[in-house]
Chains A and B, each alone.
Chain A
């Protein structure tokens, strides 16, 4: 590779962040425009990256490789980047969401703008770094840098209980990360080539190391995803975070967990994952039920959406581990590709819902579902967008989120018929979304209530989230073409399919 395109993707935002901050000190408007420009540039680059992988059909192997360059010599820590189908699709969604988050922040963030956009770009750069690191320590470094902007986002721009939520977020995720780091060290020490480089480790890790490392990474990735016993930071963080940051949290930060499970557990710790897939699958189903049931009783619209996010991410866990333990290649592809597809869809669907809850809170002064009444006549454009967004959350067959959940459930059933229990989840999800719409949109407008409707520009920005969902329903191969080869490669690596 002549142009180090991955390094550019990481360092354009990170270096640009400083520039944006300095511009913002001159004039606040400048930093908004500059960060939009930078995120659009990154989006264009990542589209180029994605399309070149898509057209050359190289989803299964790492391309655009940079390095390994020695970083901490003699210690296995290298600067080593590369992308496959999984990374490329997640990088694309990161770049896409960053543009929308910057757009959404123009209206909703009013104070300390320079430092805010500085942190947004730092976040974007480091999360892209997470998705394309091929060295476990480099991965860990980016993984941890992501925490710092998020801590400040919640703590500085958050709601009334922001301090509590920020500390809780930081401590939960940090504890998870350091335990994960122990797993990485274990892999490094007890594998024949002492290295942290992912491609060199594939298939070389002894089984007992895999088992121990799986326990460690389960905690690390499980906190981020989140898997149910480790999820309690999420509703607090989401409720307190400003709406654009909730989009980052749900749309990207949670994906780090899903990415970790697929890259490390399915890629490196494959034998242990295949043997003990049922543990993960049970945790996944538990997570989905928990998210759906607890979302049902929420009064706060945003908390309900946050729990929907837990519910949706359960599909990722279920899909990836059902896929790795499937008996046929078809089942594996359905499961793993479905999980990756689900991450993509969830990011877009949850994005519009969180932004909407932010707008509704700003216009109506409350997010309490019982107090929001008569949106249909009070704020018709908002109501329409809310219904369109909720349909995406419900995964009805007018969006691609339907496809991904269907693929995951199909794969789960192919592994064990009992996992058909997961079919109940979309049902529950539809139930609580419809109930929410009945109470907010379809109820009569109380007297003396006057709402301001969404401005057209904001509505346009919101509907942008739905574009990929429509598009991928019609052309799912745009994503699946890149991730299917990867899924079958992962499956063949554990000796499945024959």
Chain B
């Protein structure tokens, strides 16, 4: 039976169960059981994914159906998003402790995770829309979970409006695709597009623009990034981690499926567009991040900038550097998921322990919360691309791909951006390790939330291990890309 079915079964059953628990009268049941059920579901599906990946590596056996492509690319992304969900669920146990509607929270998280997993496998435009909505709609609610907090409300409304807009654009693009090719299956789209008399057909160009806009809103591509900082700042911080490390990555996997697989015939049109978008996204993200005074906003802009680096992989995807570029995208997607969730969850720990995430909370943090400070510092250095941490290697692959794909200017811009980004990453590190504590009681040690600390330590370990032994993930990414061609 198809693997996708197992995922669907695990997540549907568990999230239904969790949401029914919200009806329970016992507050301990409402508080604890949803967490354990979600944890079990995630661990089960992670095990399934790893098992399938190992099987696949020993004997490649992709299964192609009309709706799903069960290939290594899909497993790779499924692994990444499941890991992020696991981090988020574990941290939520500490971060959301004592909040209302916990059962709803966990059940929505599971539904959204299922959406991301389905998206990794989806190979039909209609399936993509269904999975896309399954991923998105729960996150609109999750961003606004704190009903009485105006920031959370603002985040939710803004995110919902733009998210709905992006779904609309996406549907429009899909309808144009159907009009041009008469099918929604990605492989069939590829075949039919090759018979298109004129590759510069205005409808095809409009379709591309709409796809870029629709996916771009999730992938946080400039100029579709406006909602990101507000949403990440207002939403519960664990959800910010989920959005930036999880759902954004799902945007990238669909973009790979649609652009690289279905529309290579039109690549002349979209590669230049992606190169310009990559430049704009990383530059704007980094410059805006430099001026932020709140760490979560800074991380939001940094997340935008990182999307810019990822777009390099798309920009070179039609030339000789296609393979290397895609490997770079996959590698960086994994690394970014780990680094970014570590960074956001460290902020969540500070939020939980100190109660506010202004910059003052971070002054001399290493005395108060040594594990959190260390993990945040490692995550930020990795995001900046300092070796020997994982972020360095994937950036190296992406930059090399840019030069190989005759886009040396893009590599130069990316390298300068990388240097620029250290300005604000190092600034937070300086805040945590060098600045004197400010305010009363800012010297005292704080008990760090146990589970968040555990997650942070795991993420830091992955960051360092992949940094020292990059082949671990690089080879998987390479297998995923090579299996795809």
Q: Which residues of A contact B (CB under 8 A)?
A: 70-75, 77, 137, 140-141, 144-145, 147-148, 151-152, 155-156, 162-163, 166-167, 170-171, 174-175, 178-179, 181-182, 185-186, 188-189
- Chain B interface, >50% SS class: helix
9-residue interface stretch from B96-104, B122-130, B467-475 = B467-475
* Residue B131 is within 8 A (CB to CB) of chain A in the complex: no
Q: Is the CB of A74 within 8 A of B478?
A: yes
Q: From A175, which residue of chain B is reached at the shortest CB distance?
A: B419
- Minimum CB–CB distance for A320 against chain B, Å: 26
Contact indicator A185/B400 (Cβ below 8 Å): yes
Which residues from B are CB-within-8-Å of A73?
471, 474-475
- Given known A-B contacts A72-B474, A175-B419, A167 and B396 have beta carbons under 8 A apart: no
Chain A residue at minimum C-beta to C-beta distance from B402: A185
A75 and B474 contact, CB distance less than 8 A: yes
| Sample (18) of A-B pairs whose CB atoms are under 8 Å apart | A72-B470, A72-B474, A75-B397, A75-B400, A140-B387, A141-B388, A147-B386, A152-B433, A162-B434, A163-B435, A166-B430, A167-B427, A174-B386, A178-B418, A181-B396, A182-B399, A182-B415, A186-B408
Q: Which of A148, A162, A170 has the most CB of B within 10 A?
A: A170
Complex Cα gap A179–B426 (Å): 19
A171 touches B426 (CB 8 A): yes
Cβ-based interface call for B309 (8 A):
no
Is A171 in contact with B381, judged by CB distance below 8 angstroms?
no
Decide: A178 and B419 in contact? CB cutoff 8 A.
yes
Closest residue of chain B to A179 (Cβ to Cβ) is: B415
With both beta carbons as reference points, the residue of chain B lying nearest to A72 in the complex is identified as B470
Known A148-B381, A171-B423; further 6 A-B contacts with Cβ < 8 A: A71-B470, A72-B470, A72-B474, A137-B396, A155-B433, A166-B434
B336-360 interface bits toward A, Cβ cutoff 8 Å, 1 = contact, 0 = none: 0000000000000000000000000
> A189: which of B403, B422, B434, B478 is its contact (CB, 8 Å)?
B403
Question: Which residues of A sit under 8 angstroms from B426, Cβ to Cβ?
Answer: 151, 167, 170-171
Query: Hey, which chain B residues are within 8 Å of A174, CB to CB?
Result: 384, 386, 419, 422
Q: Is there contact, CB below 8 Å, between B434 and A155?
A: yes
Q: Which residues of B contact A156 (CB under 8 A)?
A: 433-434
Cα distance, A70 to B419, chains bound together (Å) = 28
What sequence of 0s and 1s flags, for each residue 404-442 of chain B, a beta carbon within 8 Å of any chain A beta carbon? 100010011001101100110011001001110000000
Give the contact-size bracket for chain B.
Answer: 20 to 34
Closest residue on chain A to residue B419 by CB atoms: A175
**Which 7 A-B residue pairings sit nearest by Cβ, starting from the closest?**
A141-B387, A155-B434, A175-B419, A178-B415, A144-B387, A178-B419, A72-B470
- The answer on a CB contact under 8 Å between A171 and B471 is no
Judged by a CB distance under 8 angstroms, whether B87 is at the interface is no
Q: B470's closest neighbor in chain A, by CB?
A: A72
Q: Closest Cβ of chain B: how far from A129's Cβ, in Å?
A: 10
The 8 Å CB contact of A185, one of B403, B416, B422, B435, is: B403
Cα–Cα, bound, A156→B432 (Å): 11
Query: What's the minimum C-beta distance from B358 to chain A, rounded to whole angstroms?
Result: 19
How far is the CB of A111 from the nearest CB of chain B, in Å?
A: 13
| B393 beta carbon closer than 8 Å to chain A | yes
* Bound-complex Cα distance A189 to B474 (A): 19
| A182 / chain B contacts, CB cutoff of 8 Å | 399, 403, 411-412, 415
Whether A72 contacts B393 by the Cβ 8 Å rule is yes
- In the bound complex, residues from chain B placing their C-beta under 8 Å from that of A71 are 470-471
